Amino acid sequence: MAKSVFYHAGCPVCVSAEHDIVNLIGADNVELVHLGEDRNRIAEAEKAGVKSVPALLTPSGNVLHLNFGASMAEVKG
C-alpha cells in the first residue's frame, strides 16, 4: 500500500492527532512531515490541497483535515 502523509506543525492538537493516526493505520503506513521544521515541503503540502494542519494526505490523493490546529497561513507566518 502506498503511504499516507501526515502534515503537522508540532502543535498540541497535531501531536494528539498524530498519535491517533499512527495507532489507527500503523507507523509503517504514514510519513510524518513537520512543516515548521521541513519548510521546503510547505509548497508541496499546499499543492496537495492542505489548508490547515494537522492533515492527512491519503494514498488516493485526498486530504483529510483533522481537528483544527493551525492554518497554513499561520504555519508560514
Interacting residues with its own copies (CB under 8 A): 4, 16-17, 20-21, 23-25, 29, 56, 58-60, 62-68
C-alpha span between 74 and 45 (Å, rounded)? 14
- In the complex, least distance from residue 71 CB atom to its own copies, rounded to whole angstroms: 14
φ, ψ dihedrals at 49, nearest 5°: 110, 10
- In the complex, least distance from residue 57 CB atom to its own copies, rounded to whole angstroms: 10
Q: Are 67 and 18 in contact (CB under 8 A)?
A: no
Q: Choose between 40 and 60: whose C-beta lies nearer to its own copies.
A: 60
